[in-house]
Amino acid sequence: MTTKSAAAAARATVYGYPRQGAHRELKKAIEGYWKGRVTADALRATAAELRRTNWRQLAGAGLDEVPTGDFSYYDHVLDTTVMVGAIPDRHRDAVAADPLDGYFAMARGTQDVAPLEMTKWFDTNYHYLVPELGPDTVFTANSAKQVGELTEALALGLTARPVLVGPVTYLLLAKPAPGVAAGFDPLTLLDRLLPVYAEVLADLRAAGAAWVQLDEPALVQDRTPAELGAAARAYRALGALTDRPQLLIASYFDRLGDALPVLADAPVEGLALDFTEAAAANLDALAAVGGLPGKRLVAGVVNGRNIWVNDLEKSLATLGTLLGLADRVDVSASCSLLHVPLDAAAERDIEPQILRWLAFARQKTAELVTLAKGLTHGTGAITAELAAARADLASRANSPVTHDPAVRARTAAVTEADAHRSQPYAARAAAQRAHLGLPLLPTTTIGSFPQTDELRTARADLRARRIDTAGYEERIKAEIQEVLAFQEKAGVDVLVHGEPERNDMVQYFAEQLTGYLATRHGWVQSYGTRCVRPPILAGDVSRPEPMTVRWTAYAQSLTDRPVKGMLTGPVTMLAWSFVRDDQPLGDTARQVALALRDEVTDLEAAGTSVIQVDEPALRETLPLRATDRPAYLAWATEAFRITTSGVRPDTQIHTHMCYAEFGDIVQAIDDLDADVISLEAARSHMQVARELAAHGYPREAGPGVYDIHSPRVPSAQEAADLLRTGLEAIPAHRLWVNPDCGLKTRGWPETRASLENLVAAARTVRGELPAS
């Protein structure tokens, strides 16, 4: 590779970095604040120290430019809502009285005020708070957070680039506020919003920002000519400002398509594009528009969403091609590193050779610095790094960990019949009604019950050998007994055992399946203070022995009411893991489905009559471009049916989905052929019930009436009102009553009160139904 001149030396940067800290310090501080054990000043001090640690870590690794503004107490979209003054009316008094408490009230709600709706950030497992806008929304600039964090970074002597959610993406992510007439399009507020962005940009320039990054990931989705026109208008307006920093417009997660020429023509100084495999078409598209003459290109060549080491030689080849397409080319990850854990070096339990296959945020930062060095000085300057990467890639490709001939033979032998139940739904429904004998509007929960400090302590004590297995299992049995006794007393119809033995709905299964690796410190933010440790799917998958049968059977032995078997579905097992990238996702999904099919049939053989296979990630993993969706949905729905189609007609199969936009996948939900589906609906006011009805969905459904991501307790009247709304779309003989999601993150007092109100609501509404 030709060496670049020193004047055009490539710079390494990132768009964002993990927020929680090496030991989840932010989570602990925020939850301590909520409980009154941590003061607001102490919380702010913890946050400031975490920001300083991140920036110093990035600069110390060799990054030339660090991001600011990506840090958040809860969610960066909510931060944007605060920045533009779009506070919902119901939260304005709280925000005015105490901005920090008001901020958390918007995220979590209070007993008297509902929070903002929450949904998935594009096709990731990160959740954002949905802006609520209407024709009367008045925007006002509040750049205090953005300016404050920039000032902190500059005070450390660092080159810093503020990162903001762009105005077009912000409006495209928004929804009409409650009470706003149907059909209102938040994008019509663009001309009202742009002056606020202009004010923020001016404030950042005055504070010392040379560049500001405006993230526009919504433009990688299919967009109408009107939406693309709005993007062109927005950046003509912002580009024409005289009092502003240089502007870098960033996109990620997929190819830009028709939006690329719009942004390339905009009067801004730079674009940041994704050039990983998911968005490889950006390279040809950029060449087709004549590149970016006179502009900066930040090339995302290191995958910011997965944890495998980078193919440095392939990335350098891409970067070399890009050199002729822009005035200067800098190097970055494909998206914010928010989506990966902090440091693979902290993992002491993974075999050292396998550990060399992995790159978390710190390792990805080192890769970026290496690539920038190679792009600037040529491959001779990074000979050792290239050789090490080449060896790591070969080690992974040739490892027996990644290939199991027996698994591959079984997968290849799957037939069409393996993906279909033995009888159609109508016949199954009749058999299940006769077998289960449930009332109209049957009540149930989604699976998990509160994971108390005592349970976490027992699990930690077992790992540390402070208690033996027998002592731990007695604690689990006692918890199951308590959970069942409460449900029976409350009057729940279909029970769950509460999952006290499970650390996480994916990790628990991953630890018992071949092909998966578990981490000890690989935490990733899912929403707010909720962090998860996604397992690593490194090889072929099989189930050596039953995973859930023992505890489910134990629970069923304690009651005459049906107890649901609880499994996580194949798509979610992939989506909430760091999945292998060396074979098609559909092949991996089929392997997981066959392993889970064995578990489903064993549960049925042990006497479980209701089995729930959760697929909350089905919508989340939906490709961002419509042309890519049919192939995905074909293998995703097939994998679910392979998992669930080996049971008798009178065994009832449930599934569950939450916190996503379901309207895009109603046909896929139908194609799952589950007997019952439960879905999040409380925050969205039963929107999904109307979507199912409009589709003509023929099976049973439980749109949630209890928002479990808020600490507030819904009244029986509130739950009954939601049920009545649900009955307007779904007939009583097909409507279930349940919370939005599992109760793992809630406390026992609010769980008891909420479920008692849920059962009371079901009884009330059941009593209002006409006699059959």
**Catalytic residue IDs:** 709
SS3 641: helix
Residue 710 per-residue DSSP state: S
Provide Rg for the chain, Cα atoms: 26
Q: Burial letters for 126-157: b for 16+ Cβ neighbours within 10 Å, e otherwise?
A: bbbbbbbbbeebebebbbebbbebbebbeeee
- Let me know how many helices (H) and strands (E) the chain has, helices first: 28, 20
Could you tell me where the beta strands, DSSP code E, fall in 634-686? 652-657, 676-679
Residue the block writes with tokens 């194949």: 570
What's the CA angle centered on 760, arms 687 and 566, to 5 degrees?
A: 65
Contact 329, 10 (CB under 8 A): yes
Residue 216 contacts by C-beta under 8 Å, 6 or more apart in sequence? 166, 168, 169, 231, 249, 250, 251, 259, 263
How far is the CA of 245 from the CAs of 194, 268, 439, 533, 720, in angstroms? 15, 10, 64, 38, 53
Per-residue burial over 104-117, b if 16 or more Cβ lie within 10 Å, else e, is bbbbbbbeebbbbb
Integer Cα distance of 64 and 88 in angstroms: 39
Q: The tokens of 307 are what? A: 């944890």
Q: How far apart are CA 197 and CA 241, in angstroms?
A: 11
**Cβ atoms < 10 Å from Cβ of 529:** 20
What is the maximum alpha-carbon separation in the chain? 84
Looking at residue 140, the DSSP 8-state letter turns out to be -
CB 169 within 8 A of CB 219: yes
| CA angle centred on 347, ends 342 and 349, rounded to 5° | 160
The SS3 call for residue 498 is strand
- Residue 569's alpha-carbon distances to 166, 538, 615, in angstroms, are 35, 18, 5
Residue found under tokens 């060799």: 62
The CB-side HSE value for 163 (13 A sphere, CA atoms) comes to 25
- Distance CA(722)–CA(734), nearest Å, equals 15
Residue linked to tokens 């007939």: 731
Query: Which two tokens mark 763?
Result: 């009884």
Are the CB atoms for 506 and 742 separated by under 8 Å?
no
State the DSSP H helix or E strand holding residue 597, giving kind and residue range, or none if neither: helix 585-605
Q: What is the DSSP annotation of 232-275?
A: HHHHHHHHT-SS--EEEEE--SS--TTHHHHHHTSS-SEEEEE-
Helix, strand, or coil (residue 730) = coil
Task: Pick the closest to residue 532 from 368, 711, 325, 742 (CA basis).
Answer: 742
Taken in order 512, 514, 520, 521, is the CA torsion positive or negative? negative
Query: Which tokens belong to 63?
Result: 């990054």
Residue 3 is classified by DSSP as: P
What is the distance between the alpha carbons of residues 349 and 356, in angstroms, rounded to a whole number?
13
- 654 bridge partner residues: 612, 676
Whole-angstrom distance, CA of residue 424 vs CA of residue 741? 28
For residue 79, give both structure tokens. 């931060």
